[in-house]
Amino acid sequence: MSSSGQTTYSAANLHDYRYHAVCPIECNVTLMRLTNAKSVKQGIRAVAARAGVSTASVSRALNNPDAVSPSLRARIEQAIDALGYIPHAPARILSSRRSRTLGAIVPTIDNTMFARGIASLQQYLSSVGYMLFLTTSGYDLDVELQQARNLISRGVDGLVLRGDCHHEGLRKLLADNAVPFINVGIYQPDRPHPCVGTNNEAAAHRAAAHVIELGHRRIGIVSALQRNNDRASARVAGFRRALTENGLELPPQWHVEVPYTLDDAREAARYLLNLKDRPTAVVCGNDVIAYGVLLEAERDGFSVPRDLSVVGFDDLDWSRHLRPSLTTIHVPTGETWQRAGEYLVRSLAGEQTIMHREIDFSLVVRESTAPPLKS
């Protein structure tokens, strides 16, 4: 038990659950032939002649795609493809003082939500002529700081970061190098840093309120590990607020923290279900944790939702296909990460943009929740 009185749980000797999600960033090694200024100019002239436009238009399309119309850009891209012309990246960086690359640092790519978000970010950036460098931190703030140094040394124009729990050295690094950034997955309008995401506290409050409205009074929570994870902490805070507002208590043994894995979630569920005074409803830190609770409840002979109501968070694809299907909080992950990319691209272009953008969540009620059995 931790000093705060809550039970912290970690299953030992269990392998990490893998999502089999393929990292959407293709790791290509491009063999580049350095060309001199004369050959670059000749290439641009050939593209201009093929597309029937001026060399200035080709230069604008290469260095600032947003400055030309979509139809003109399409003509120039067709000419580039037909000629097999490869724009000279170092020359473009020197002329525009921009690399047209962004970096993203996520805790892990084993998490389906991160993979989905990165895919949406990559798709958007590709559409506006940007590339994406991706690294992971493993929820380690020192590693995140080092990865940021690596990305900045490689010339990224901006960074997408997960949450607002960062090493103080990272904030100084970004300020000293004038690198714009945005925190994704959170909404904190009272903070000075740009962010885009769902209000995690309010979303978890809604999840807890749902089972309270159904009549549950003994409600537990299986949360993610809160260390270096402000999203998990906000969800726990929202859950606790809902209970307090309704005069309910959370016994320390009804709060279990686990990593985002099926094995650990199942161990946590086994612990809760074997308590003499067990909860009749469990709110989970994300859908994967909820899957583990559902699996363990079934293995132990508990019927969901007759004996136990379960609520998830994220609304992964599997959640609507399970039996029982999972009641959960829907979070528009793709939109969230695309908005993060839009913020950085527009900021780099000198445009005014919203610093704090809230992405709406919604409660999706399915088969895993119901009123408790009458005693």
Confidence at 42, pLDDT banded by 50, 70, 90: low
User: Which tens digit of pLDDT belongs to each residue from 76-121?
Assistant: 888 887 876 666 554 444 444 578 999 999 999 888 889 999 999 9
Give, in order, the Cα–Cα distances in Å from 93 to each of 29, 36, 62, 127, 129. 19, 15, 11, 19, 13
In a domain, 171, yes or no: yes
Q: Are residues 153 and 109 in the same domain?
A: yes
Instruction: Give 205's contacts (C-beta < 8 A, 6+ positions apart).
Output: 238, 239, 241, 242
Confidence at 62, pLDDT banded by 50, 70, 90: confident
Q: Are residues 76 and 169 in the same domain?
A: no
Mean pLDDT of the chain: 86
Identify the pLDDT of residue 45.
87
Whether the per-residue pLDDT at 332 is higher than 60: the answer is: yes
Q: What DSSP element (H or E) covers 114?
A: helix 112-127
The mean pLDDT of 22-27, rounded to a whole number, is 34
Q: What DSSP element (H or E) covers 160?
A: strand 158-162
- Residue 161, domain CATH: 3.40.50.2300
Whether the per-residue pLDDT at 39 is higher than 80: the answer is: no
Identify the pLDDT of residue 4.
44
Range of the domain at 179: 101-198+334-359
Identify the pLDDT of residue 41.
55
Q: Are residues 193 and 142 in the same domain?
A: yes
Identify the pLDDT of residue 8.
41
Q: Are residues 227 and 307 in the same domain?
A: yes
Q: Are residues 312 and 251 in the same domain?
A: yes
Weakest mean pLDDT among 89-93, 94-98, 183-187, 231-235: 89-93
Q: Which of 87, 119, 154 is the last residue of a domain?
A: 87
Q: Are residues 287 and 185 in the same domain?
A: no
CA-wise closest residue to 363 among 312, 316, 296? 312
Q: What share of the chain is helix, strand, coil (3-state, %, to 5)?
A: 45, 15, 40
In a domain, 267, yes or no: yes
In a domain, 129, yes or no: yes
As given in the structure block, the two tokens for residue 112 are 């389906």
pTM score, two decimals?
0.75
Identify the pLDDT of residue 250.
97
In a domain, 2, yes or no: no
The mean pLDDT of 164-181, rounded to a whole number, is 93
Identify the pLDDT of residue 362.
98
Whether the per-residue pLDDT at 367 is higher than 50: the answer is: yes
Top-confidence residue, 7 or 272: 272
Q: What are phi and psi of 27, to 5 degrees?
A: -90, 85
In a domain, 368, yes or no: no
Q: Are residues 194 and 302 in the same domain?
A: no
Confidence at 64, pLDDT banded by 50, 70, 90: confident
In a domain, 249, yes or no: yes
In a domain, 1, yes or no: no
Identify the pLDDT of residue 97.
58
- Residue 57, domain CATH: 1.10.260.40
Identify the pLDDT of residue 374.
82
Q: Which of 313, 331, 349 is the last residue of a domain?
A: 331
Q: Are residues 112 and 189 in the same domain?
A: yes
Q: Are residues 232 and 326 in the same domain?
A: yes
In a domain, 151, yes or no: yes
Confidence at 135, pLDDT banded by 50, 70, 90: very high
Q: Are residues 281 and 220 in the same domain?
A: yes
For residue 305, cis peptide bond before it (omega within 30 degrees of 0): yes
Whether the per-residue pLDDT at 219 is higher than 80: the answer is: yes
Percentage of residues in the chain having pLDDT higher than 70: 85
Q: Are residues 222 and 327 in the same domain?
A: yes
* DSSP tag of 317: G
Q: How many domains does the chain have?
A: 3
Q: Are residues 231 and 306 in the same domain?
A: yes
